[in-house]
Amino acid sequence: MSQDSSDSVVQHVMNAAPDGRLTCADALRLAAMLNRSPLEISRIANQHKIKIVSCQLGCFK
């Protein structure tokens, strides 16, 4: 994965969570839209202090 691609994914995650919170449904939607794993989205969120909330499946902790 190129750095530009990684930066784009990070930017999408940050844009989806302007208040520092991202719902599980939105995280899963981002993962599908960006062709990334939910785990990758979760790691990016954690790195940027974004809390994943309203988790339906327990994927994000």
What are the structural domain ranges in the chain?
Answer: 3-53
Q: How far is CA 38 from CA 15, 21, 26, 53, in A?
A: 17, 16, 10, 14
Can you give the pLDDT at residue 6?
Answer: 79
User: With contact defined as beta carbons under 8 Å apart, do 47 and 12 qualify?
Assistant: no
Can you give the pLDDT at residue 11?
Answer: 95
Q: Distance (Å, rounded) from C-alpha 43 to C-alpha 38? A: 9
Amino acid at 50: I
Can you give the pLDDT at residue 21?
Answer: 96
pLDDT in tens, 15-57: 999 999 999 999 999 999 999 999 999 999 999 999 999 877 6
